[in-house]
Structure 1
Amino acid sequence: MFIHKNEAYVIGVDYGTASVRAILVNAFNGAVVAESEYEYPRWKKGQYCNPSKNQFRQHPLDYLEGLEYTIRSLVTNTSKEIVQNIKAITIDTTGSTPTPVDETGMPLALRDEFKDNPNAMFFLWKDHTAMKEADEINAHAKKFDINYIQYSGGIYSSEWFWAKLLQALRVDKEIREATASWVEHCDWMPFLLTGGTNYKNIIRSVCAAGHKGLWADEHGGLPPKDFFSSLDPLFNTLEHPLFTEVFTSDTSAGYLCSEWALKLGLNEGVKIGVGALDAHLGAVGGQIEPYYLSKVMGTSTCDMLVIPKSDKEQILIPGISGQIDGSIIPGMIGFEAGQSAFGDVYDWFIRLLTNTTFDFILKADVEEDVKQMLIKNIQMNVLTDLSKAAKCLPFDEDSELAFDWFNGRRTPNANPYLKGAIFNLDLASDAPRIFRSLVESTCFGSRKIIEHFIEKGIPIKGVIALGGVAKKSDFVMQMMADVIGMPIKVNKAEQTCALGSAMFATVVADIYDTIETAVSALGQGLDTIYEPDLSKASLYSRRYKKYQEIGAII
């Protein structure tokens, strides 16, 4: 450990699906001194998105405005002494969320001619417009002696980098001709803050490159040029390889440039860490342990697992979202799995119940502030009321049974074509009963992931739960424990992704020498442990068997 005489602080920034959050953390005791959040205004209005086509794009201005707002808020709400002792910033983002950039490394949507073109923006992780391209990549990979997708779980996803890139190359000639390269959101932010002006200098994270971008040390980095050009000659419009090095998040990407130091109210001496994906740093913020599945539970789930490199190093787990050396904890093998829709399933049902009511309210002849108050009250109470009602319901083998594939299936065995479904409906099926079945379906999806790891030779000692759902819903968490038959530990931290970023920032700033030391010093410990109700194990197992049997037929 490197001891500093003066106080030291770091900033962790977490770009989520709907907002960006930033926290200012005391680097020696983990205390959160200040925090701030900014909702993306364009995203909130549904701009550049078309759910019927699985198109979900985000404008870089949402990211830039959010960065300036959140960090400025931290700076203005704390003392000058603390601001002077801010040593480093690390950023995590959703992923795979790539964008095309020009030769200066600027996302094309920041240029006037492309400012309203969705193909010039960031392709959010949940964008599935590249399903055809993912299918082609999977079929194409079988033609090569080296299996270039084996470290991506053996199935390349439409959520990921190369599929999205290829789809954009095909559908938009203007974007194709203006593009110098493509970059993940988590890699663009450090490049921006360090004043980058040449796309060739973008530092790529092993986290995004490995899990989403086909990078693996075992086959020499990225697949060879022929892998891409023989798939589609349009790949020849881009430089190959797009990058030749990747870095772990305990590495510095440089120093805050003068332009952004002025915008944020910080010193130019602040170090900027190499970025990473939100779930990976969330697992770190939630104090991930070897062989414990860390579930980051939000709109989707990302299930993270680490094992020491010396343990089962040669095991390849098919059907997951990748296994990469150093992607979560440097020096360990990081595994990723997850569910494409989790909280999104609950949100869909709540919208289904409330949208018509909201339409009536908005059309009512009353003051606008009264309308908004009514809508807000309904939004705040409907999930709580549904959970209370569903918790008291009796259920048996023939009760409503749902499937959680509302945004396809991520793992095991990615399949974006799958759809959600609800079985055993009758005229007695009311909102609480349907809601109960939807929650159960997301828990069954989680159980399937755990069993998949165990079946492939990786033992699971327990589950660590993180994220909004884990903190806000006792109903969901208790059912999860009952369904998987394991205790679930909920970490005390409110913003685990931002805290994980802050932990890495302390290593970047040379305050700690390893991320393990930083986690030990800054970790916030456990909030709650949900113990499984073993009296329900037999019934849930029978219902889970039906979930598997029907799911295999669909």
Structure 2
Amino acid sequence: MTHTLGIDIGTFETKGVLVAHDGTITATATRPHKMLVPRPGWAEHRAEEDWWGDFVHVTKALLAQSGIDPRDIKAVAASAIGPCMLPVDSAGKPLMNGVLYGVDTRATAQIAALNAAIGEDVILERCGNALTSQSVGPKILWLKETHPDLFAHTAKVLTSTSYLTWKLTGEYVIDHYTAANFSPLYDVTRQDWTADLADILPLGRLPRLMWSTGIAGQITTAAASETGLAEGTPVTCGTIDAAAEAVSVGVARPGEMMLMYGSTIFIIQVTANPVRDPRLWYAPWLFPGQHASMAGLATSGTLTHWFRDQLARDTDFATLAAEAAGSPKGAKGLLCLPYFSGERTPIHDPNAKGSFFGLDLTHTRADLYRAVLEGIAMGTAHVFETCAEVGASPALVRAVGGGTKNALWLQATSDLCGAVQEVCDKTIGASYGDAFLAALAIGAVAESDIAKWNPVGSRVMPERVTAYERQYPLWKQLYRQTRDIAHALSDAD
């Protein structure tokens, strides 16, 4: 039986899957890695070890586990965290660690400088996005200004998926969906690179633009030797992990939204027309003529990991969730601002700080953990509220990711957002979406076949919660009234 291979590089783990053309999963494999935080506000991966090393390891594991002939893998698609900033030399060798997506806030000064030089309204109109910590352009400018020696040797600036595709095929490519995050270097109306707004780097140092399901090239002899894949196997352009995750649960039509519970909450809604609002992100969707509106929190699964590692090292997540289920909704009046790495949408404040507010001597670890989950859910509700304000409330919400295993987190999110969440049978995520995109790229499936690959298995219905109706407005007020203190603490750092 013929198969496609999907590999996804996440913030803390790489997942891979071999899928038959009817959607049956033949083999899965994972490999953990770490997010490096060399200083507050920075977030990095090692491109060769964490991205390519994981790809090779997981691919070999899948081949060994399945026992299939590599020639029966008819196409390969990869996704990865993004947008990232990785400078490479003329031989494609990384010149530094990969600078991660919006959780890395090192380019705050460059964002301010570009806004002042170009104008925020001009950037929003031309790029479809305000400059935020998610934008790659300011991070390239940070490299140029702070490491001129490295910048002088930079032949290409890649993102995580671009690096993988280059390692597999020898081609430097990037999909339009990812490229839209390179503001102010991408013009969303022309759907092309632009140097009109800022002289950050020569455009020849950026990858070639493609659509996500375009065939970028074939597995090279060197890549075949390292991975065990068959030389000549087609490789797609690839995309960001969240987009592949949306594909994996059938988000395809305007009004359909993916709510991804991962290291961060990430939201993608397909829209009929571009939504340009500085509080959200915009990009062309994976296919020509389609659009997407995005949002993301800075800390979600990463915050639950922090809580366990610092306050519950003797406990697993299942036990923590069971404890928190014994705490009443509203966590006995406890509020948590989940801004432990600043915040992305909708406030775009890299200097925001995390906090617990309302503590007294009756609160327990269970209350604290419930407050963490409810704080993340309130951050998600803030995004839903913003979508409603710009006329883009979702008609359908599909939940996906590791956090869907946490029933308390799911229910709190439905309650606070007032949304029905559909959970598909397979929640493996982006790697499964990659396998589908690879099959789509070679004509083995139609776009509508994802409903057969991954049907809806359950729904989470919202409930009215009096405690949330009282506490959510206070949660928003808590940020507003402590913002100056948080910024002063950042200045002291």
Distance 1:478 1:107 in 2: 43
- Following TM superposition, by how much is the alpha carbon of 1:453 offset from its aligned partner in structure 2, in angstroms? 0.9
Query: Is the Cα contact below 8 Å between 2:332 and 2:363 reproduced in 1?
Result: no
Counterpart among 154, 175, 179 of residue 205 in structure 1: 175
- Letter of the structure 2 residue corresponding to residue 511 of structure 1: A
Distance 1:520 1:314 in 2: 26
Give the TM-score taking structure 2 as reference length: 0.91
- Following TM superposition, by how much is the alpha carbon of 1:212 offset from its aligned partner in structure 2, in angstroms? 3.8
Cα-to-partner distance string for 1:317-351 (whole Å, 9 max, x where unaligned) = 33112x222x2444321111111111112222222
Where structure 2 has 5 or more consecutive residues not aligned to the other structure, the ranges are 483-493
- Letter of the structure 1 residue corresponding to residue 295 of structure 2: A
Larger Rg: 1
- Following TM superposition, by how much is the alpha carbon of 1:16 offset from its aligned partner in structure 2, in angstroms? 0.5
Give the TM-score taking structure 1 as reference length: 0.81
Q: 1:177 to 1:151 in 2, by over 3 A?
A: closer
Aligned to 1:546: 474
Asked if residue 167 in structure 1 is aligned to residue 142 in structure 2, the reply is: yes
- Letter of the structure 2 residue corresponding to residue 348 of structure 1: W
- Following TM superposition, by how much is the alpha carbon of 1:104 offset from its aligned partner in structure 2, in angstroms? 2.7
Aligned to 2:335: 401
Counting only pairs closer than 5 Å after superposition, residues 145-156 of structure 1 correspond to structure 2 as 147-150=122-125, 154-156=129-131
- Following TM superposition, by how much is the alpha carbon of 1:402 offset from its aligned partner in structure 2, in angstroms? 1.3
Asked if residue 477 in structure 1 is aligned to residue 410 in structure 2, the reply is: yes
Counting only pairs closer than 5 Å after superposition, residues 424-439 of structure 1 correspond to structure 2 as 424-439=358-373
Aligned to 1:73: 61
- Following TM superposition, by how much is the alpha carbon of 1:473 offset from its aligned partner in structure 2, in angstroms? 0.6
SS of residue matched to 2:18: strand
Deviates more, 1:156-165 or 1:214-223: 214-223
SS of residue matched to 2:280: coil
Query: Is the Cα contact below 8 Å between 1:151 and 1:324 reproduced in 2?
Result: no
Counterpart among 78, 93, 97 of residue 91 in structure 1: 78
- Following TM superposition, by how much is the alpha carbon of 1:394 offset from its aligned partner in structure 2, in angstroms? 3.1
- Following TM superposition, by how much is the alpha carbon of 1:187 offset from its aligned partner in structure 2, in angstroms? 1.3
Percent of aligned pairs with the same residue?
21
Distance 1:275 1:301 in 2: 21
Distance 1:159 1:481 in 2: 26
SS of residue matched to 2:257: strand
Asked if residue 9 in structure 1 is aligned to residue 8 in structure 2, the reply is: no
Counting only pairs closer than 5 Å after superposition, residues 339-488 of structure 1 correspond to structure 2 as 339-354=297-312, 378-380=314-316, 383-394=317-328, 399-470=333-404, 472-488=405-421
SS of residue matched to 1:405: coil
Asked if residue 137 in structure 1 is aligned to residue 123 in structure 2, the reply is: no
Aligned to 2:38: 50
Q: 1:389 to 1:526 in 2, by over 3 A?
A: same
Counterpart among 148, 161, 164 of residue 186 in structure 1: 161
SS of residue matched to 2:60: helix
Query: Is the Cα contact below 8 Å between 1:148 and 1:219 reproduced in 2?
Result: no
Counterpart among 444, 451, 454 of residue 511 in structure 1: 444
SS of residue matched to 2:123: coil
Query: Is the Cα contact below 8 Å between 1:155 and 1:414 reproduced in 2?
Result: no
SS of residue matched to 1:284: helix
Aligned to 1:303: 267
What is the RMSD of the two structures over their aligned residues, measured on CA atoms? 2.3
SS of residue matched to 2:50: helix
Asked if residue 23 in structure 1 is aligned to residue 17 in structure 2, the reply is: yes
Distance 1:529 1:489 in 2: 4
Cα-to-partner distance string for 1:233-274 (whole Å, 9 max, x where unaligned) = xx3xx4235448521111100111111112222222310000
Where structure 1 has 5 or more consecutive residues not aligned to the other structure, the ranges are 1-6, 109-119, 197-201, 230-234, 356-377
- Following TM superposition, by how much is the alpha carbon of 1:153 offset from its aligned partner in structure 2, in angstroms? 5.7
- Letter of the structure 2 residue corresponding to residue 317 of structure 1: D
SS of residue matched to 2:4: strand
Q: 1:68 to 1:77 in 2, by over 3 A?
A: same
Q: 1:53 to 1:478 in 2, by over 3 A?
A: closer
Q: 1:431 to 1:248 in 2, by over 3 A?
A: same
Distance 1:152 1:384 in 2: 43
- Letter of the structure 2 residue corresponding to residue 318 of structure 1: P
Aligned to 1:122: 98
Deviates more, 1:387-396 or 1:91-100: 387-396
Counting only pairs closer than 5 Å after superposition, residues 27-38 of structure 1 correspond to structure 2 as 27=21, 29-38=22-31
Counterpart among 389, 410, 429 of residue 496 in structure 1: 429
Distance 2:323 2:32 in 1: 31
- Following TM superposition, by how much is the alpha carbon of 1:458 offset from its aligned partner in structure 2, in angstroms? 1.3
- Following TM superposition, by how much is the alpha carbon of 1:506 offset from its aligned partner in structure 2, in angstroms? 0.7
Aligned to 1:288: 251
Deviates more, 1:202-211 or 1:127-136: 127-136
Distance 2:256 2:225 in 1: 42
Query: Is the Cα contact below 8 Å between 1:318 and 1:413 reproduced in 2?
Result: no
Query: Is the Cα contact below 8 Å between 1:306 and 1:328 reproduced in 2?
Result: no
Asked if residue 319 in structure 1 is aligned to residue 295 in structure 2, the reply is: no
Aligned to 1:336: 294
Cα-to-partner distance string for 1:438-469 (whole Å, 9 max, x where unaligned) = 11111111111111111111132232111011
Distance 2:423 2:377 in 1: 16
SS of residue matched to 2:210: coil
Distance 2:330 2:191 in 1: 53
Aligned to 1:367: none
Query: Is the Cα contact below 8 Å between 1:181 and 1:239 reproduced in 2?
Result: no
Aligned to 1:3: none
SS of residue matched to 1:64: helix
Runs of 4 or more consecutive aligned structure 1 residues displaced over 6 Å after TM superposition = none
Q: 1:475 to 1:13 in 2, by over 3 A?
A: same
Deviates more, 1:60-69 or 1:394-403: 394-403
Cα-to-partner distance string for 1:112-171 (whole Å, 9 max, x where unaligned) = xxxxxxxx121122222222222222333317xx72334666421223311221212222
Q: 1:249 to 1:280 in 2, by over 3 A?
A: same
User: Number of paired residues?
Assistant: 479
Query: Is the Cα contact below 8 Å between 1:148 and 1:223 reproduced in 2?
Result: no
Q: 1:521 to 1:462 in 2, by over 3 A?
A: closer
